[in-house]
Chain A
Amino acid sequence: MPHVHKMLKWLELAGMMMVALIFVFPFVWMFLTSFKSLQEVIQFPPQWLPETWLWENVVKAWDSGPFLTYFSNSVLVALSILILQFLTGVPAAYAFARYRFKGRNWLFGLSLIALMIPPQITFLPVFLELSQWKLINTLWALILPYSASAFGIFLLRQAFMQVPEEIVEAARLDQASEWQIMWNLMVPMARPVLVTFGLFSFIYHWNDYFWPLVMTNQELVRTLPIGIAMLKQSEGGVAWHIVMAGNLILVLPILLIFFLAQRQIIRAFVYSGVK
């Protein structure tokens, strides 16, 4: 019997390794490609490691357009969206979770429906409206439409509903205002959900290609994904090694966030298990 157990353990481990490999492989390939010469990239059979590591590919990618602008635009847009979604989501979720008012369920249902409609369907009316406000080709066009997140409201509402009513009542007896209860009690308690949602939202908007593509056509207000996509349009075939180097620039900040916040993230999830 212990033999069988051991076998199963090994199988399980092997399975997990496989899945991890499938996930990691494209990233590794991207990383390696970034430092190859074009020759090595397109040769067949493919070669694993670059002959010489061409670190300058990254510099080339960075220099082939106003990448500093793209980069700071991306940071600005993703962070602004995150902050706005947080500021609008917390009160909305708190109200949905804790107050009884007329039309509550109806309104909540409406915001859930918003969750199911992809931006490809709504972009046209939003575009028209924004152009009326003369906001096309500004960062506002990238930020404002996302200033509230139905998904965030949904997640936060679930988290707030988990908080025992007595804790809120104890705070009321302690003369806390609704505002304080919301920001000083509920928000810290919902930290795991906030971290999860924050990561999700940031990554989604950091990587978002469609919306910035539609809303901007000037370099000054473009974001990184657009800039990198445009690397493909260089003269004389696609310079894949440069494109991959651009992608490296795109994913690096996110990897960095994961790396730096790793302990925070894991702690946040561990906390959620403890009542």
Chain B
Amino acid sequence: MAEVVLKQIVKTFDRQTVIQQLDLTISNGSFTVLVGPSGCGKTTTLRMIAGLETVTEGEIWIGDQKVNDLPPGKRDLAMVFQNYALYPTMTVKENIEFGLKNRKVRKEEREQLIREIAEIVGLSDYLQRKPSTLSGGQRQRVALARAMVKKPKVFLMDEPLSNLDATLRHQMRTELIELHKQLGATFIYVTHDQVEAMSMGDQIVVMDRGRIQQTASPMELYQEPANRFVARFIGTPSMNILTLPDLPGLQLGIRPERVMLIREDGSAFSFHAEWQRTKPDLQRADNPPEGISAEGVILGREVLGAETLYKVQTQLGAFAVKSHSDLLLNQDEKVLVRLRKQDLYFFDAAAGQRVREQDAFARHALEAILSPLTEPAVLGVGGR
């Protein structure tokens, strides 16, 4: 079918290598998102799949065909561009029809297809309009319709929603997910927005500086990042990375939303739902769970409504904490900080690779910093 496979792809522009030995398998019917910071090579990768850019080294396979030397029009794929790239002198209908005409589809069949697609994307009343008279969202739909009408096996989309306002973007996101389900085609979607990536993709490819950092499902990416880059890229605010004297050669990673802050009077703050489940364990005095306990002071806060971001200074260093509690902590207020063992991540300080707990190195480090977490009095009061 339409599995897309990239084998050892290298791309060089004027001696500058922008993609380095990229291996990627995009399974048939998946919604794969390429995500990464600006300039990491997402667009370049997508354009190589489309055939708009040649590959310097390596092979691209679509289905059971090697497509390196196949022109874009023959690869049975459609692309939606960031700025839509509609043909400005043609009407909406002609825009949608252009590709069909070039494929020598008969007139009655074309009319039929256009009518169907226009219905799906809600453009039936606009077929005779020129793109310049449409709103951003409508243009976006024309671009989608133009891609869909060809019924390709693979859809390529390069930041198709980035020109829309927040509301429309949200709506189109949902519609694209729906569309993917309906069509069952392979979607390859480029974005630099990790939230968009997480909410849409079933497979996410995180890229940085021309290399794939990790390929995984959204949940795995969040819970088991392969390295420091992915850990910091996924989640807002990004993961805190702390360098501790007790951990030579290692760095400690802490997600802001996984830190519990406790007020001096004992009322709990920033109570991540995951903590609820550990609560009974915490209250068991005989075999308490392990973690990190520290004392801290609030350096600053940002109130966002549904959540509050704090900057907390502790003996571990200063780091960000995200709280979902409606109660607010004040500047300079003293707090107790609690971290569960399972929420700690370790990274190789130099290479940035994740160091797992099984690793002797990490186990040694853990012993150095862990202590039993027991705060029965506090947790009796806690909750949100």
Q: Mark A171-203, 1 if CB is under 8 A from B, else 0.
A: 111111100100001001101000000000000
Q: Kindly state whether residue B237 has any CB partner on chain A within 8 Å.
A: no
Pairwise interchain contact A173-B87, C-beta atoms closer than 8 A? no
- A172, A188, A189: which has the most chain B beta carbons within 10 Å? A172
Name the A residues within 8 Å of B87 (CB-CB): 167, 170-171, 185
Chain A: interface residue count, which band? 10 to 19
Pairwise interchain contact A188-B89, C-beta atoms closer than 8 A? yes
Pairwise interchain contact A176-B102, C-beta atoms closer than 8 A? yes
| Nearest CB of A to B302, in Å | 38
Q: Kindly state whether residue B63 has any CB partner on chain A within 8 Å.
A: no
Nearest residue in A to B133 (C-beta to C-beta)?
A: A274
Q: Mark B76-95, 1 if CB is under 8 A from A, else 0.
A: 01110111011111000000
Pairwise interchain contact B85-A189, C-beta atoms closer than 8 A? no
Nearest residue in A to B50 (C-beta to C-beta)?
A: A173
Pairwise interchain contact B102-A170, C-beta atoms closer than 8 A? no
A180 and B102 contact, Cβ closer than 8 Å, known pairs A185-B87, A188-B89 = yes
Pairwise interchain contact A174-B52, C-beta atoms closer than 8 A? no
- A164, A170, A175, A275: which has the most chain B beta carbons within 10 Å? A170
Give the complex CA separation of A274 and B52 in angstroms. 27
Name the A residues within 8 Å of B102 (CB-CB): 174-177, 180
Q: Kindly state whether residue B106 has any CB partner on chain A within 8 Å.
A: no
Q: Kindly state whether residue B376 has any CB partner on chain A within 8 Å.
A: no
Checking B85, B98, B150 against A169 with a beta-carbon cut-off of 8 angstroms, the contacting residue is B85
Checking B50, B98, B132 against A176 with a beta-carbon cut-off of 8 angstroms, the contacting residue is B98
Checking A164, A173, A185, A274 against B72 with a beta-carbon cut-off of 8 angstroms, the contacting residue is A173
Q: Kindly state whether residue A166 has any CB partner on chain B within 8 Å.
A: yes
- A171, A172, A173, A177: which has the most chain B beta carbons within 10 Å? A173
Q: Kindly state whether residue B58 has any CB partner on chain A within 8 Å.
A: no
A176 and B83 contact, Cβ closer than 8 Å, known pairs A188-B89, A275-B132 = no
Q: Kindly state whether residue B382 has any CB partner on chain A within 8 Å.
A: no
Checking A172, A175, A189, A275 against B52 with a beta-carbon cut-off of 8 angstroms, the contacting residue is A172
Q: Mark A244-275, 1 if CB is under 8 A from B, else 0.
A: 00000000000000000000000000000011
Total contacts A-B at CB 8 Å:
61
User: Dominant SS at the A interface?
Assistant: helix
Give the complex CA separation of A169 and B156 in angstroms. 13
Give the complex CA separation of A169 and B132 in angstroms. 19
| Nearest CB of A to B339, in Å | 48
Name the A residues within 8 Å of B71 (CB-CB): 172
Give the complex CA separation of A234 and B89 in angstroms. 54
Give the complex CA separation of A174 and B81 in angstroms. 13
Name the B residues within 8 Å of A275 (CB-CB): 88, 132
Name the B residues within 8 Å of A173 (CB-CB): 50, 52, 72-73, 77-79, 99
User: Which chain A residues in 43-64 approach chain B with CB under 8 Å?
Assistant: none
Give the complex CA separation of A188 and B98 in angstroms. 15
Give the complex CA separation of A23 and B71 in angstroms. 55
Name the A residues within 8 Å of B277 (CB-CB): none
Name the B residues within 8 Å of A177 (CB-CB): 102
Pairwise interchain contact B99-A164, C-beta atoms closer than 8 A? no
Name the B residues within 8 Å of A176 (CB-CB): 73, 98, 102
Name the B residues within 8 Å of A171 (CB-CB): 87, 98
Give the complex CA separation of A22 and B154 in angstroms. 64
Checking B77, B85, B103, B132 against A170 with a beta-carbon cut-off of 8 angstroms, the contacting residue is B85
Give the complex CA separation of A90 and B128 in angstroms. 28
Give the complex CA separation of A185 and B72 in angstroms. 18
| Nearest CB of B to A148, in Å | 25
Give the complex CA separation of A144 and B277 in angstroms. 89
Give the complex CA separation of A191 and B82 in angstroms. 25
Give the complex CA separation of A164 and B83 in angstroms. 10
A274 and B132 contact, Cβ closer than 8 Å, known pairs A164-B85, A173-B78 = yes
Give the complex CA separation of A86 and B169 in angstroms. 44
Name the A residues within 8 Å of B78 (CB-CB): 173
User: Which chain A residues in 145-167 approach chain B with CB under 8 Å?
Assistant: 164, 166-167
| Nearest CB of B to A105, in Å | 17
Give the complex CA separation of A223 and B337 in angstroms. 96
Q: Mark A208-250, 1 if CB is under 8 A from B, else 0.
A: 0000000000000000000000000000000000000000000
Give the complex CA separation of A164 and B82 in angstroms. 12
| Nearest CB of A to B203, in Å | 23
| Nearest CB of A to B152, in Å | 9
| Nearest CB of B to A270, in Å | 11
Give the complex CA separation of A188 and B83 in angstroms. 20
Name the A residues within 8 Å of B52 (CB-CB): 169, 172-173
Name the B residues within 8 Å of A175 (CB-CB): 73-74, 99, 102-103
| Nearest CB of B to A213, in Å | 41
Contacts beyond the supplied A173-B79, A173-B99, A176-B98: 14 A-B pairs with Cβ under 8 Å: A166-B85, A167-B85, A167-B87, A167-B88, A173-B52, A173-B72, A173-B77, A174-B98, A174-B99, A175-B73, A175-B103, A188-B89, A274-B132, A275-B132
Nearest first, the 5 A-B pairs at minimum CB distance are A175-B73, A174-B99, A166-B85, A188-B89, A175-B102
List 28 A-B pairs, Cβ < 8 Å.
A164-B83, A164-B85, A166-B82, A166-B83, A167-B85, A167-B88, A169-B72, A169-B85, A170-B81, A170-B85, A170-B86, A173-B52, A173-B73, A173-B79, A173-B99, A174-B99, A174-B150, A176-B73, A177-B102, A180-B102, A185-B87, A185-B89, A189-B88, A189-B89, A191-B89, A274-B132, A275-B88, A275-B132
A interface vs B, CB < 8 Å? 164, 166-167, 169-177, 180, 185, 188-189, 191, 274-275
